[in-house]
Amino acid sequence: MNSDFIQIDGVIVNKEVVDTNFTCDLSKCKGACCTMESDYGAPITLSEIEEISKVLSVILEYLPQEHKKEIEKNNFWIKKENELMTRSLNNRACVFVTFDGEIAKCGIVKAYYNRKISFIKPVSCHLFPIRISNFGGTVLRYEKYSECQPALELGNNNKTKIIDFCKDGLIRKFGNEWLLRTKEIIKS
């Protein structure tokens, strides 16, 4: 296997995920990951669509009117090139974006932290800047965006690696044992 990757229990991890320092700095990036120019929003699974559908009426309470209208008219997800994604509004913001001043935040997360729902957000969002690809198996890679430069700077300042920044999402997706095993392997 290429030395840029390590394999842990069938999951291939790009070394950038364990070597790169990263901590989101919302005060500087303004939530750019939720508002990047794109025809669609975040990758989403069928089970996540089902979970969100169950609590959609609560989530809608946290969204701007324009986003509510888009969801009511076209739903909150789309299938694009055989991939499920959240919808994008005006090729810009994920339909679940709400704004706290000039900072884009997630309406799903707001509802979760206000204890209105038990679903925190799609796992692809929970793992960002890690993206999951399937190249004959699960591959975790660091997805780089120029908008995340402040996160690299803050990560360098506080010495937080991507794998630690994304700890909760990784545990949610792969389990605590997998994360502990991964951390052991990268230490050796």
Integer angstrom CA distances of residue 118 from 112, 115, 128, 156: 6, 7, 20, 33
Cα separation, 100 vs 124, in Å, equals 22
Output the CA–CA distances (angstroms, integers) from residue 15 to 6, 78, 164, 187, in the order listed.
Answer: 7, 32, 13, 12
* Domain extent listing, the chain: 1-22+129-188, 32-117
Q: For 134-186, write each residue's pLDDT tens digit.
A: 877 899 999 999 999 999 999 999 999 999 999 999 999 999 999 999 988 88
99 confidence band (pLDDT: 50, 70, 90): very high
Calculate the CA 13 to chain-centre distance. 17
DSSP label at residue 137? S
Note the pTM of the prediction, 2 decimals: 0.88
